[in-house]
Amino acid sequence: MKVEIRKWRGVIYVLALSGSVAFVSFYGGPLPYVLLHALLLLLPVSIVYTIINYMNLKVYQEIDTVKVTKGELHNYRATIENAFIFPVYKLGIFLYEDRCIMESLTGDLVYSLNSKEKIELKSEIKCKYAGAYDIGIEKISLEDPFGIYKVILDVPYKFRAVVSPQITDMASKAIEIENIFNNRGLSSDNLVQEIPGSDIRPYVPGDSFHSINWKVSAKVGDIMVRVPDNMERQTVTMLLLADEKEEDKYTITALKRRDYFLEFIVSAAWYFASEDMPVKFIYPAGRISQFTVDSKKSFSEFYSIVADGIFYNSPGVYKDLKDTLQNQGKGVYGEDTWIVVTENPKENEEFCRIY
């Protein structure tokens, strides 16, 4: 809550009050006392009136879809209702201008509502960042009749939007996937792909023409095909170290950081999915979770959860997440390539590091 006082009006009020006190010091009776009481009660009754207005103000906000995408236009609607008999005068509306753009709602938004009156505000909205955060109306303001004070309060109900990141190629440049596999030649025992084999058998209708071994067929005089072998496929693990600080996670800096983080992850996942390369994501979804993206279908699933699915439900989860990095090269994961993406890297850390 923030209260702004207009000094000059306050001074005039104090002068009027002092005058009435002086008046009542010399004269008794109804006129002096009623005047004094009126001036004395002016501010307290204004405060009471403001409180009543605020308590009976209903604000509902909605968007046409459940999840929106960053940078895309969506339809936004806000309904503001005065649920009491006391009219609301000059209600000021303040939007979240730093994180979303309202195409139709610009400038000073000041509305007055009569008793039980409802107004509807409609606009197209574009969210600037990926993630889960409040958009639309942030605060409202109310004043007293003589403009001595203006109180700015949080809107009773805020609207939380889930904004999915855009899919770009920012991650591929950073990670250099081709080089990772050419140099390392690592493999996983989970996933396999077929390669032409060394065993031969006669051609059966339905076999692929690519599997015909022409050399052997010429020798034998009959069409012979190779029997395919399973080759172990190479895989990657991405460890997503989201920012553990909860207290300032809705600041613009934090939103921008999260936006970049999500876009990077999604870009990386999209790249792996389009190359049919499996990538295991280890991330905090309350507690430590993992998700493997190895196809477009699995990517879609991952994409739908990533915008609001990365969070910690206790401080220990972050520590445990960092400890999983110690498992790199051991146990189940073998000698996988590990890519650690840190949302809020410290001074001696990198945003993206490959192990």
Partner 1 sequence: MKNSAGFIRDIRATIFVFIISVIGVEVYLLGGFSEAIGVADLERNSFVICTTLFYLLFCLIGYMINLFEDGKMAIILSVIVALPLGVLLFRYRHIALLLALIIAVGLRLILGLISWQQQLIKYGIFLIGAVAVFLWYFYDCFETVNTINRLLFAAIIVISLSSIQQILVEKNKGEFPFHFFLLLCLFILIIPVKPKPLDWSRVQSLAGKIADASDNVAYYFSGIYDNGNYDTGYSNLQVNGGKVKKSNKNQLVLTTSQMPYIVYTDSTTGKQMKGRKILYLQGQQGVDNRQLIEFLQFLYDHNVDRSKASIFSQISKLSVEYVYLTTGDEIVPRGVISLKSSGGEIHKKGYKEDTVYLDIDYGSPIFMQLCREKALDKPALSYEQMCKYTNEIYRMDLSEIVSKQEYEASLLDDDLSEYEVLPKDDKNLHDLTTEITRPANNDYDKCRLIEGYLRQYPYTTDAVGGYDKQSTMATADGMGDIAGRFLFDTKEGYCVHFTASMVMLLREAGIPARAMSGFRYLYPYERQKEYKVQANCAHLWPEAYIDGLGWIPFEPTSAYYSSEEVTWHRGEGEKAMDNGAVGESLATIAPDIPIDEKADSRKVDKGFVVTVVVIIVLSIAALIGFAIAITVLIRYVKYKHASLDERLIIDVESIKLQLVKNAASQIEDRGLLSDYLALVADGLKPEVQHSFNLYYKVLYGGKTGTITKEDSIRTHQLVEAISKS
Binding interface with partner 1 (CB under 8 A): 21, 24-35, 37-38, 41-42, 45-46, 48-49, 85-87, 89-90, 112, 114-117, 145-147
Residue the block writes with tokens 């999209």: 270
| 126 and 100 Cβ atoms separated by less than 8 Å | yes
Q: In the bound complex, what is the minimum distance in angstroms from residue 48's beta carbon to partner 1? A: 8
Q: Which is nearer to partner 1, 138 or 144 (CB)?
A: 144
Q: Which is nearer to partner 1, 29 or 315 (CB)?
A: 29
Q: Which is nearer to partner 1, 102 or 140 (CB)?
A: 140
Q: Which is nearer to partner 1, 47 or 220 (CB)?
A: 47
Q: In the bound complex, what is the minimum distance in angstroms from residue 44's beta carbon to partner 1? A: 8
**Separation between Cα atoms, residue 86 and residue 116, nearest integer Å:** 8
Q: Which is nearer to partner 1, 113 or 339 (CB)?
A: 113
CA angle 18, 23, 29 (to 5 degrees): 130
| 235 and 190 Cβ atoms separated by less than 8 Å | yes
Q: In the bound complex, what is the minimum distance in angstroms from residue 107's beta carbon to partner 1? A: 17
**Separation between Cα atoms, residue 196 and residue 306, nearest integer Å:** 38
Q: 193 CB contacts (<8 Å, ≥6 apart)?
A: 230, 231, 233
Residues forming beta bridges with residue 79, ordered by sequence position: 60, 120
User: By C-alpha distance, which of 187, 190, 186, 217 is closest to 203?
Assistant: 217
Q: In the bound complex, what is the minimum distance in angstroms from residue 35's beta carbon to partner 1? A: 6
Backbone angles phi, psi at 233, to 5 degrees: -90, 150
Q: In the bound complex, what is the minimum distance in angstroms from residue 53's beta carbon to partner 1? A: 10
Q: Which is nearer to partner 1, 14 or 48 (CB)?
A: 48
- Phi-psi group of 319: left, alpha or beta (phi > 0 → left; psi -120 to 50 → alpha; rest → beta): alpha
Q: In the bound complex, what is the minimum distance in angstroms from residue 99's beta carbon to partner 1? A: 32
